[in-house]
Amino acid sequence: MTILVTGATGMVGRLVVERLVAAGARVRALTRSPGTARLPEGIEVVAGDLADPSTLVSAFGGVQRMYLFPVPATAREVVAGAVGAGVRHIVVLSSGAVTTGFDTDFHLPVEQAVEASGVAWTHVRPGEFMLNKLWLWGPSIRADRVVREPFPDTAWYPVHERDIADVAVTALLQSGHAGRVYDVNGPQLISHRDQVRAIAEAIGEDVRLEVVTPDRARQHYREQGGFAAANADFLLGFEDYSGNDTAPTAEAFGPAFTGPLPTAEQVTGRPARTFAAWAHDHADDFR
């Protein structure tokens, strides 16, 4: 059985590839840039662009199962191509925002395209990635051992990327997951303040938490560029999920879920990883 992994060079996608290879599965990895993809030896790497379904024809040949990175604009054509070529089960990297009703135009249409095709499906809906803190706080921690944060007591259930990948891989390899929706959150409600503490402990050095205004934090993230700049307005509460303007308040970040979900443990058989474990896994990235 050949499993096609799209988004294979992504933070989650690479782990999906790693886990599938470790399980002895035959993996084909899709990337737009095979020359720079740095994917494991021994797997098949194919070029293709999910935004251009005409580039995917050869990628689908002989594939039975697929991990689908979400690209909404072309999802229907991509899924039609996959199913027409014989793919029987698609595991979608979706978002917990579909469950909470905030996401109606990004991950939801990808899920709907897969369901409408008649193929067997599993939707993996992660909540906030722990990784976001590496993209947001990593530069200032590495440079000055400081985090500039307007809402230190805001808490959430961030999820380790390895738990997301483990859930996806379980759905790809085992039977019994078709037609299932898996919301995947982390195991503990943890405030930004405690997240900073966990990172400090992991790197073995003090990290100062500097409480700043939302405007100051936005300016800082915009100057930082990349993920921080692209997501500053949403993550700091200046806009809601639909992009409408809002006023940042700590209350706006109240959890939409009432508690951690035991999904990762139920699906994979092992407890979800804590933020402290994640910080240790990424200690070198913060140093």
What CA–CA distance (Å, rounded) separates 117 from 179? 13
Angle between helices 161-173 and 11-22 (to 10 degrees): 50
Nearest distance, CB of residue 92 and ligand NAP, angstroms = 10
Window contacting ligand NAP (CB under 6 A); options: 121-129, 179-187, 233-241, 252-260: 121-129
Q: Which of residues 244-263 bind ligand NAP (CB under 6 A)?
A: none
C-alpha dist (Å) from residue 157 to 99, 100, 138, 150 = 15, 14, 19, 18
Residues 24-53 that bind ligand NAP (CB under 6 A): 31-33, 37, 49-51
Q: For 254, which DSSP code? A: -
Cα–chain center distance at 42: 25
Can you tell me the distance from the alpha carbon of 151 to that of 14, in angstroms, rounded to the nearest whole number?
Answer: 32
Q: Give the shortest CB-46-to-ligand NAP separation in angstroms.
A: 11
Please report how close the Cβ of residue 223 comes to ligand NAP at its closest, in angstroms. 21
CB-wise, 234 or 238, nearer to ligand NAP?
234
Q: Which of 3, 4, 9, 278 binds ligand NAP (CB under 6 A)?
A: 9
CB 155 within 8 A of CB 255: yes
As measured in angstroms, the least distance from the Cβ of 85 to ligand NAP is 17
- Using the rule CB under 6 A, give the single segment among 8-16, 137-145, 175-183, 196-204 that binds ligand NAP: 8-16
SS3 assignment, position 183: strand
Q: In this structure, are residues 286 and 138 in contact, taking their beta carbons and an 8 Å threshold?
A: yes
| Axis crossing angle, helix 192-203 with helix 132-144, rounded to the nearest 10 | 60
**Interacting residue with ligand NAP among 2, 112, 132, 188 (CB under 6 A):** 132
Closer to ligand NAP by CB, 210 or 239: give it. 239
SS3 label, residue 16 = helix
Q: Which stretch binds ligand NAP (CB under 6 A): 123-131, 173-181, 205-213, 237-245?
A: 123-131
Alpha-carbon distance values, 220 to 132, 155, 192, 273 (Å): 15, 21, 17, 30
Q: Which window, 122-130, 179-187, 196-204, 257-265, contacts ligand NAP (CB under 6 A)?
A: 122-130
Q: Residue 221's closest CA among 151, 123, 147?
A: 147
Spatial CA neighbour of 195 closest among 158, 220, 144: 158
Alpha-carbon gap, residue 181 to 91, rounded angstroms: 10
String of contacts with ligand NAP for each residue 151-190, x by CB under 6 A:
----------------------------------------
Q: How many CB atoms lie within 10 A of CB 51?
A: 11
Q: How far is the CB of 205 from ligand NAP (least distance, A)?
A: 26
Q: Minimum Å distance from CB 283 to ligand NAP?
A: 19
The residues facing 258 across adjacent strands are none
Give the x/- contact pattern for ligand NAP in 86-115, rule: CB under 6 A: -------x-x--------------------
Instruction: Out of 21, 46, 71, 209, point to the residue binding ligand NAP (CB under 6 A).
Output: 71
Residue ranges binding ligand NAP (CB under 6 A): 6-7, 9-13, 31-33, 37, 49-51, 69-71, 93, 95, 126, 128-129, 132
